[in-house]
Amino acid sequence: MLQNTAVVVPRGEVQYVVTEYGSVNLFGKSIQERAISLISIAHPDFRDSLFEEAKELGLLGPERSLREEMHSIYPLHLEETRIINRQKITFRPVKLTDERPIQEHYYGLDKIDVVSRFFHEKTSFVSKQIERTFIIDYSKDLTIVAVEGEQGYERILAVGEYYLNPETNLAEIAFSVEKSWQGRGLSSIVIKKLAEVAKRSGIIGFSAYTSKDNARMIKLFHSLDYDVKIDSQGAMISLEAKFKNDTEGDA
């Protein structure tokens, strides 16, 4: 390329954008998805003004709101790639740009897994109903996903998340795994990553409310190697596992 020659690339042809706050692949995304993607990797101090400007320009619908969590900085250090079943699987915190892949993941679950995750039959997973999964602060609330595929074309295989109950300082957890990947250890990896962050954030343990028949969730709690308390409540059970502190672990 000649020196001092200006290079102009049409905005519609831009595919990858990288900043110090993350990277996004814009290929194949709608105008709204592109706007959210770019806002998510902007400096946190400017996300409010960028969000409002995008709404004024009609790039975002009037129903969209910028929650406090959207100012959080993506914790890149939590990303890890492993080879499982001869496939490269990346475990990472969820991003704002994961909205559509999460919807596709939930729509791909069978009826039993949907009921296990949401406690009732559910056929719609619109943004407002699932935004708590992908709009998080990476501390009090956290979602870890297991994905395969190139950035921008990733398919979500598993979702694990926790939400802090400030009254108990316990975080409630929830999981879902694509049927073809169940039983391959994805949830065990995800829950250990969630526990690592939760403990570092001062959370004292995990809780869950599920059916007595949900053997996978019960097994998952026991995989943490902490004492698990199980209380029966009719057809449902509550699970609770409190983290050991360092002195207890050394005892």
pLDDT attached to residue 119: 79
Give the CATH number for residue 125. 3.40.630.30
| Same-domain check for residues 228 and 127 | yes
Determine the Cα angle at 126 with ends 182 and 46, to 5°: 105
Segment 219-247 mean pLDDT: 88
Q: 152-202 pLDDT, tens per residue?
A: 789 999 999 999 999 999 999 999 999 999 999 999 999 999 999 999 999
Among 35, 66, 97, which residue terminates a domain? Answer: 66
| Same-domain check for residues 101 and 56 | no
Q: Is residue 16 scored above 80 in pLDDT?
A: no
Q: Is residue 5 scored above 70 in pLDDT?
A: no
| Same-domain check for residues 145 and 28 | no
| Same-domain check for residues 102 and 13 | no
Among 47, 66, 85, which residue terminates a domain? Answer: 66
Q: In sequence order, which residues have a C-beta less than 8 Å from that of residue 198 and are 6 or more positions away?
A: 142, 162, 171, 205, 206, 243
| Same-domain check for residues 168 and 245 | yes
pLDDT attached to residue 50: 84
Residue 141 amino acid letter: D
Q: Has residue 208 been placed in a domain?
A: yes
Q: How is 31-100 classified by DSSP, letter by letter?
A: HHHHHHHHHHTS-GGGHHHHHHHHHHTTSS-TT----GGGGSPP-GGG-EEEEETTEEEEEEE--GGGHH
| Same-domain check for residues 87 and 163 | yes
Q: Give me the domain span that covers residue 111.
A: 76-250
Among 25, 46, 66, which residue terminates a domain? Answer: 66
Based on the structure, what is the number of domains in the chain? Answer: 2
Q: 192-225 pLDDT, tens per residue?
A: 999 999 999 999 999 999 988 889 999 999 999 8
pLDDT attached to residue 8: 47
| Same-domain check for residues 230 and 125 | yes
% pLDDT > 90, the chain: 47
Q: 106-153 pLDDT, tens per residue?
A: 999 999 899 888 878 888 888 888 888 988 888 899 999 999 998 878
Give the CATH number for residue 1. 3.40.1080.20
Segment 224-228 mean pLDDT: 90
Q: How many residues does the chain have?
A: 251
Q: What is the pTM of this model?
A: 0.75
pLDDT-derived band of residue 88, with 50, 70 and 90 as boundaries? Answer: very high
Q: Has residue 71 been placed in a domain?
A: no
Q: Residue 228's closest CA among 197, 191, 202?
A: 191
| Same-domain check for residues 146 and 94 | yes
Q: Which residue has the higher pLDDT, 12 or 221?
A: 221
Q: Has residue 190 been placed in a domain?
A: yes
| Same-domain check for residues 25 and 80 | no
Q: Has residue 244 been placed in a domain?
A: yes
Q: What is the mean pLDDT of the chain?
A: 85
Q: Has residue 187 been placed in a domain?
A: yes
Does residue 220 sit in helix, strand or coil? helix
Q: Has residue 168 been placed in a domain?
A: yes
pLDDT-derived band of residue 1, with 50, 70 and 90 as boundaries? Answer: very low
